[in-house]
Chain A
Amino acid sequence: AQSVSQHNHHVILSEAASLELGCNYSYGGTVNLFWYVQYPGQHLQLLLKYFSGDPLVKGIKGFEAEFIKSKFSFNLRKPSVQWSDTAEYFCAVGSGGYQKVTFGTGTKLQVIP
């Protein structure tokens, strides 16, 4: 069975600070990895995904994530956060594309102006 662990439940940063959110997964086969964001009152949106190829994945709004297979990790990074990045971030793992995607419990990010 696949599982996802997000290390931080709540992160508070000042604007312009750098962000790194941890994500580790457990799965025995070929994985597809995702980061989703949920802004207050809005639906889940895909930030970025890894299916294959370059393990450094660039997503929307300046976010990127690095797939490190040996560490079973897929950490999310952004060099300089903005107040508008305040949201909840979910790491997720799937097998065979979007089949049976398992989500982590989420990290609430609060960016202080």
Chain B
Amino acid sequence: DAGVTQSPTHLIKTRGQQVTLRCSPKSGHDTVSWYQQALGQGPQFIFQYYEEEERQRGNFPDRFSGHQFPNYSSELNVNALLLGDSALYLCASSYREEAFFGQGTRLTVV
């Protein structure tokens, strides 16, 4: 058990819709990062949250946004879904030199 919990595990959405994915970090971890892993590819960094603020951002459009709550949990929001957004979305929590990944949310856009 990685200690990082993501919900839901699977999701099917229609093009143009909006989706919210959730992540609860491992206890004691204050930083949450989100990644997109397309089929056959390595995870791609979306953004990272620390102290409720976006600290770093990868090369993703503004349709991808996020939030971190005071309890360090986080949400990833994607607006105006495209077919190409279909992927496994991974959350990783970290504290200093320790980091763990969750099982991911499999998003399918039809």
Interface residues of A (CB under 8 A from B): 4, 36, 42-46, 49, 51, 90, 92, 97-106
Contacts and interface: CB of A to CB of B under 8 A. Distances in A.
Chain A contact surface mostly: strand
Contacts of B43: 44, 90, 103
A98 B45 contact: no
Contacts, number: 53
Interface residues of B, number: 26
B11 interface: no
Interface of B: 2, 4, 31, 33, 35, 40-45, 48, 55-56, 58, 90, 92, 94, 96-97, 99-104
B45 A105 contact: no
A49 B104 contact: no
Nearest to B95: A98
A39 B100 CA distance: 15
Contact of A100 (B41, B58, B97): B58
A100 B45 contact: yes
B42 A103 contact: yes
A51 B55 CA distance: 20
